[in-house]
Amino acid sequence: MKSIKPGRGPSLMGGVASLLVGAFGVIWTIGASSMGAPGFFAMFGVVFVILALAGAVYQFANATRKHRFSAFDITDGREEPDPLNERFGGHAQDSPASIRNADSRDTDGGFCPFCGAKVEADYRYCRRCGGELPDE
């Protein structure tokens, strides 16, 4: 089974952005408290900081761990199993063991493992990205 996962670079950038958003939340909270704004303005900043920290943890985890949650990069189950599929009981044909035994491309071609474009069975290189396709 192919799955789509966030790339390590975008996840790292997302983690850094989350930390910057958290810093903004801290500034917001301090500013709202020091100006005597109603309490819900300061609480908004606190919630903002908590959500930013949760996002940073998620993004940095996706940037550093081997098995990431699905979202952007197209990967094959032989490269990385999908943790969500395993957690929520994916079908037996989608298990990593069955994927390892399965052919990487269908009889009518399949899809490029790099960009996801449809390819013909006898192609050696992807027409879209130029990546060398795996042997059958």
- Which region holds residue 2: left if phi is over 0, alpha if psi is between -120 and 50, else beta? beta
Residue 59 CA to residue 15 CA, distance in Å, equals 5
Residue 44 CA to residue 42 CA, distance in Å, equals 5
Give the pair of three-digit tokens for residue 7.
């790339």
> Above 60 in pLDDT, residue 132?
yes
Average confidence score pLDDT of the chain: 76
Position 128 scores a pLDDT of 83
> Above 80 in pLDDT, residue 10?
no
| SS3 assignment for 34-91 | HCCCCHHHHHHHHHHHHHHHHHHHHHHHHHHCCCCCCCCEEEECCCCCCHHHHHCCCC
Return the percentage of the chain with pLDDT > 90, whole number: 24
Q: Is the dihedral of CA 35, 41, 43, 45 positive or negative?
A: negative
Does 6 or 122 have the greater pLDDT score?
122
Quickly state the pLDDT bin for 76 (edges 50, 70, 90). low
Which of the residue ranges 86-90, 101-105, 129-133 has the most confident prediction, judged by mean pLDDT?
A: 129-133
pLDDT digit string, tens, across residues 13-60: 888 999 999 999 999 999 999 998 898 888 999 998 999 999 999 888
For residues 70 and 5, the answer to whether their CB atoms sit within 8 Å is yes
> Above 80 in pLDDT, residue 108?
no
Position 30 scores a pLDDT of 93
Return the percentage of the chain with pLDDT > 70, whole number: 62
Position 52 scores a pLDDT of 94
